[in-house]
């Protein structure tokens, strides 16, 4: 029995070491930002913590379809939000962990080692936080990111998003069922990384941890289209 337990321990330890090494290596190597060509850009933001990353998108840059489907209530004193913040995560962790200090080992272990349901969290933001990472992108890139986010919602037979009834942290945020399964290989940060790639923003090849996403997002400097740059100079003159 001791030899068996020792072998299992070595296998698990080796697997985790290989996972962490692969995550580090693939987080360091980036996919370059796409060349952009637009006269006007919109600033979106990456909201992040040590373990999680979300997208903060200006309300005015989102389609009516997204605003109507999410339909967050206005705050009684702050009014309508300036941004909608979208994040994806493990459904059970969202339900049982209103703040990261509440995270229990059993929920973290389940999210890491067992496939589980996913959920999308949408919350309002009434201004820009100093800790947010600004990302200036073209409108068509915002649209690509929005389409990516919308594709993650689970929908009923009529095509409507499926809100998780009764689940809210503040009374002004909402949770929705999400397609797919949550695993250590397909984590919340992989989802955020996929959104960056969809929008043509600099991103790591693969990053199950927030640090890789954050590192490259902070260094996002898209190359400009030379023809567009020339036309901008002529216009300015």
Q: What is the pTM of this model?
A: 0.83
The pLDDT value recorded for residue 231 is: 35
Q: Which residues pair with 186 in a beta bridge?
A: 183
The pLDDT value recorded for residue 220 is: 83
Distance CA 196, CA 193 (A): 5
Cα torsion 112, 30, 140, 180 to 10°: value is -20
Distance CA 216, CA 105 (A): 29
35, 225 in Cβ contact below 8 A? Answer: yes
Which residue numbers in the chain have pLDDT < 50? Answer: 226-237
The pLDDT value recorded for residue 181 is: 92
The pLDDT value recorded for residue 118 is: 95
Q: Which long-range contacts (CB under 8 A, 24 or more apart) does 71-76 make?
A: 72/122, 72/123, 72/124, 72/172, 72/173, 72/174, 73/171, 73/172, 75/124, 75/126, 75/172
Q: What is the DSSP string of 179-217?
A: EEEEBTTB-HHHHHHHHHHHTT--EES--SSHHHHHHHH
The pLDDT value recorded for residue 228 is: 43
The pLDDT value recorded for residue 4 is: 67
Residue 15 CB neighbour total at 10 angstroms = 11
**Model confidence pLDDT, tens digit, residues 152-209:** 999 999 999 999 998 999 999 999 999 999 988 889 999 999 999 999 999 999 888 8
């Amino acid at each position: 029995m001791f030899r068996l337990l020792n072998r299992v321990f070595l296998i698990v330890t080796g697997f985790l070491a290989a996972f962490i090494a692969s995550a580090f290596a693939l987080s360091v190597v980036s996919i370059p930002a796409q060349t952009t060509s637009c006269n006007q850009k919109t600033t979106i933001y990456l909201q992040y913590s040590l373990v999680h990353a979300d997208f903060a998108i200006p309300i005015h840059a989102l389609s009516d379809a997204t605003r109507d489907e999410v339909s967050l209530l206005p705050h009684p004193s702050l009014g309508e939000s300036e941004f909608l913040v979208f994040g994806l995560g493990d459904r059970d962790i969202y339900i049982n962990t209103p703040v990261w200090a509440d995270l229990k080992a059993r929920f973290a272990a389940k999210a890491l080692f067992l496939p589980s349901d996913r959920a999308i969290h949408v919350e309002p933001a009434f201004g820009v936080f100093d800790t947010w990472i600004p990302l200036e992108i073209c409108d068509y890139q915002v649209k690509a990111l929005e389409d990516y986010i919308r594709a993650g919602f689970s929908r009923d037979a009529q095509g409507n998003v499926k809100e998780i009834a009764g689940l809210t942290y503040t009374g002004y945020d909402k949770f929705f069922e999400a397609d797919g399964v949550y695993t250590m290989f397909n984590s919340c940060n992989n989802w955020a990384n996929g959104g960056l790639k969809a929008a043509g923003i600099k991103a790591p090849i693969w990053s199950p941890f927030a640090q890789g996403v954050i590192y490259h997002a902070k260094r996002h400097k898209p190359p400009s289209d030379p023809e567009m740059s020339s036309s901008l100079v002529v216009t300015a003159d």
